[in-house]
Amino acid sequence: MNYLADEQRYSKMTYHRTGKSGLQLPPISLGLWHNFGGVDTFENSRALARHAFDLGITHFDLANNYGPPAGSAEETFGQILKKDLLPYRDELIIATKAGYRMWEGPYGERGSRKSMLASLDQSLKRLGLDYVDIYYSHRFDAETPLEETMGALDQAVRQGKALYVGVSNYNAEQTEQAARILKSLGTPFVIHQVHYSMFERKLEQGLQDVLAREGVGSIAYSPLARGLLTDRYLENIPADSRAAGGSVFLRPEDITEEKIAKSRRLNALAQERGQSLAQMALAWVLRKGHVTSALIGASKVKQLEDNVAALKQLHFTEDELALIDQILAG
């Protein structure tokens, strides 16, 4: 049967304006960093993407190297588009990135014009699209002039291969310089993708001030600290977990007793609020309205539903916020 999106999808979700641009994103976006690679079950990936859209999640975040293997997440999403979502293309915000290792040789990573534009062409081919909505420089490249990297993003927009551009993993000073260059080029720099969670708070160390001053939105990746801010690791490391599977992104040694103790105390507060720990962690990231969207990963449809349910309770009392800071500082 042909897929038909839920007609009530837009009544289920609110949308946030991204910085000072006209672009609006859902407060919860779906990241395809994991669970959409060539090693994953296609029908599960397909079910996740379809259900996300049915919940009103219009933003799907990719990068050239997502998989594994590298490139396969874009290929998987390209198949999902072809089978299900292409009729809704004008309702979707599809993002991809370049900057990390993708192919052999000096142009297979970092921020040269050669690398950035060649990678975008490869991504569009894998996705089966003429353009992406957001194209990111995935990381700052100290070996390439920033003017060259930003110039490549500008060229992507002028070629009609991207509508907006952003950066990821740039510090406050680098972001300010990027904003100044892109403004001089007249290119719509709308978003910064940043690692942000209760356990990772570099956004608050000057970067948020730059984004506010420049009118740039933000999207937080790993808001659940790769699972540490869920109930998954409160007792032990499950056999089917990412950590047990030998992931380079979350190793058993990353799951320290100190972090688990903090997660348990945070979980107790979440239960008092009538939320799961994951729901409270997402609400906390979105609490001040500075962060445009929280980028989640999911391996099951139920996880999507549970995470979106965080939007039902975004308010924190001053006492709750003070207790969270006390727990994290302990």
DSSP per-residue letters across 104-158 = SSTTSSSS-HHHHHHHHHHHHHHHT-S-EEEEEE-S--TTS-HHHHHHHHHHHHH
Within 8 A by CB and 6+ apart from 241, the residues are 227, 232, 233
Q: Which residues of the chain have pLDDT under 70?
A: 236-254
d(CA 177, CA 125): 31
Are the C-beta atoms of residues 287 and 255 closer than 8 Å to each other? no
Are the C-beta atoms of residues 69 and 37 closer than 8 Å to each other? yes
d(CA 147, CA 267): 45
How high is the pLDDT of residue 244?
A: 45
- Other C-beta atoms within 10 Å of 220: how many? 25
How high is the pLDDT of residue 266?
A: 97
HEC letters along 49-116: HHHHHHCCCCEEECCCCCCCCCCHHHHHHHHHHHHHHHHHHHHCEEEEEECCCCCCCCCCCCCCHHHH
d(CA 285, CA 222): 10
Rounded to a whole number, what is the distance in angstroms from the first to the last CA of the chain? 54
Torsions phi, psi for 320 (to 5 deg): -65, -45
Q: Which CATH architecture has domain 14-225+280-312?
A: Alpha-Beta Barrel (3.20)
Q: Where are the domains of the chain?
A: 14-225+280-312
248 DSSP assignment: S
Instruction: Report the SS3 class of residue 210.
Output: helix
Task: For residue 13, count CB atoms less than 10 angstroms from its CB and return exposed for 0-12, middle for 13-18, buried for 19 or more.
Answer: middle
Torsions phi, psi for 78 (to 5 deg): -60, -40
